[in-house]
């Protein structure tokens, strides 16, 4: 993997948005180990973090625009990874039935899982090179596949990830017109041992629960092997395309 950067137009620069999370921090470490200079962006903490993270609130477009402007002079960047996402927090849990659907919960899911990555694309895609191979990828989820939905439930999370997948597909079409070497994809990391998945881990087979560093290594390997023909798709940790 040490030669990963040779496959890209802007050889040694990457951005990880959501670098304070379990998968995001692991992705930043993996890319740094592969020879990239990694710009790390994370949720506001009142000041720039000790590790040099740039503050960003993906639910606030002004914050997204300011973060992109701050990094613009150091570009272009060959890889932009959006490692943000919401499944549950102290106020939200995935819905088991339509009877508990609420406007506020649905709005929050879409704000973080769909609108946030769309705003990031708006302001960060210009930081990709105009020519040559480059990647814009956002963490998605298999449960965002409409064709693969066999269990139901998790209305807001499923719908917001399905929306993300459509946004990525539409983005890929437009970006490909001016940046033919660009690849825009969704990435499904599998179930990773992080706070996001912790309440649901008891139902996961041990061999299907990945540590964050292993998940990051798998995802970077997927990124390494993507081609412009893959742009617009959503790919699992093992490189397999997920049904829309």
pLDDT digits (tens, 9 = 90+) for 118-166: 999 999 999 999 999 999 999 999 999 999 999 999 999 999 999 999 9
Do residues 112 and 84 touch, judged by C-beta distance below 8 A? yes
Tell me the average pLDDT across 58-70. Answer: 97
- Structural tokens at position 168: 């990525």
What's the full length of the chain, in residues?
A: 244
Distances (CA, A) of 75 to 20, 71, 153, 187, 228: 22, 7, 42, 23, 21
* Closest among 167, 172, 189 to 18, alpha carbons compared: 189
Cα 159 from Cα 101, distance rounded (Å):
12
pTM: 0.91
Taken in order of first residue, the domains within the chain and their CATH numbers are: 4-236 (3.40.50.720)
The closest of 135, 116, 219, 115 to 175, measured between CA atoms, is 135
Question: pLDDT tens, 6-22?
Answer: 577 656 899 999 999 99
**Helix (H) or strand (E) run with residue 174 in it:** helix 155-178
Determine the pLDDT at residue 194: 77
- 156 phi and psi, to 5 degrees? -65, -45
CB 191 within 8 Å of CB 240:
no
């Amino acid at each position: 993997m040490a030669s990963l950067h040779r496959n890209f137009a802007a050889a040694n620069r990457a951005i990880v948005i959501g670098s304070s999370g379990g998968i995001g921090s692991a992705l930043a470490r993996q890319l740094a180990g592969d020879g990239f200079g990694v710009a790390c962006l994370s949720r506001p903490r009142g000041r720039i973090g000790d590790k040099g993270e740039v503050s960003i609130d993906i639910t606030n477009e002004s914050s997204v625009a300011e973060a992109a402007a701050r990094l613009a002079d150091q570009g272009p960047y060959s890889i932009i990874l959006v490692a943000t996402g919401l499944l549950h927090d102290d106020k939200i849990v995935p819905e088991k039935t339509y009877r508990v659907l609420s406007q506020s919960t649905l709005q929050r899911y879409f704000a973080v899982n769909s609108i946030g990555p769309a705003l990031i694309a708006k302001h960060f895609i210009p930081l990709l090179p105009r020519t040559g191979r480059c990647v814009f990828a956002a963490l998605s989820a298999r449960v965002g596949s409409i064709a693969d939905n066999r269990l139901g439930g998790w209305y807001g999370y499923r719908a917001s990830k399905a929306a993300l997948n459509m946004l990525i597909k539409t983005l890929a079409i437009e970006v490909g017109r001016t940046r033919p070497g660009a690849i825009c994809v969704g990435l499904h990391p599998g179930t990773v041992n992080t706070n996001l998945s912790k309440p649901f881990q008891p139902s996961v087979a041990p061999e299907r629960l990945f540590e964050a560093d292993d998940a990051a290594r798998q995802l970077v390997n997927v990124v390494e092997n993507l081609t412009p023909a893959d742009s617009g798709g959503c790919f699992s940790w093992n490189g397999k395309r997920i049904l829309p």
